[in-house]
Amino acid sequence: KGEAEKKAERTLRDALAKVKADFEGKRRRLVDTFRDTVADLQDELLLLEDVLKVGLTTVNEQTIEMMLATFIYPVLLQPLYLYMQRYPTPSRPTERVVKRNTSSVLSTSERSSTNGSDSESNSDSEDDPDDSNL
C-alpha cells in the first residue's frame, strides 16, 4: 500500500504542476496581449494629442473622427471583444426562443388582420398606457 500511495501522490503532484504551468503560460500570454494593446492605445492617443495641438480645422476634425473610428475604438473594444469570445453570454439561447415566440405571435396577428379585424389598433391603445397621457 505504501508504494501505491507514493505513486498516486507523485502522479497527483505532476498533474498539479502541469496545470500550474499551463495556467501560468496562459496568464503570461494574456498579460502580454494587454500590454501590447495598451501600448498601441498609448501610441494612438499621443498621435491624437499631436493632431489636437495643430488646431481644429474642418480637415483635422474629420481626421480625428476617422482616427477614432479606425484605430482608437477598436483598440478600446478589443479586450471586451476577447472577453466576450471567451465567456459567451447565457442570454443568447433565450433570445432565440423569444424570437421564435415573437414570430409565432406575429404570424397569428397577421392572420387576424387578413380576416378584416381591427385588432391592431385596439391592441396598440391597450398595450401602451403612455398613449393615454398624451
26-61 pLDDT, tens digit each? 999 999 999 999 888 888 888 888 777 776 666 677
Q: Give the C-alpha separation, 54 to 32, whole Å.
A: 34
The number of angstroms, rounded, from the C-alpha of 45 to the middle of its chain's C-alpha atoms is 23
Element (H, E) at 51: helix 2-54
Q: 67, 44 in Cβ contact below 8 A? A: yes
The number of angstroms, rounded, from the C-alpha of 73 to the middle of its chain's C-alpha atoms is 13
Q: Give the C-alpha separation, 96 to 94, whole Å.
A: 5
Tell me phi and psi for residue 37, to 5 degrees: -65, -45
Which residue has 505532476 as its cell numbers?
14
Amino acid at the residue 90:
P
Residues contacting 87, CB < 8 A, separation 6+:
none
Q: Is the pTM above the cut of 0.75? A: no
Q: Give the C-alpha separation, 89 to 93, whole Å.
A: 9
Which residue has 387578413 as its cell numbers?
114
Name the 3-class secondary structure at 118.
coil
User: What is the tens place of the pLDDT at every residue in 70-119?
Assistant: 877 787 788 777 777 777 666 655 555 555 555 554 454 444 445 554 44
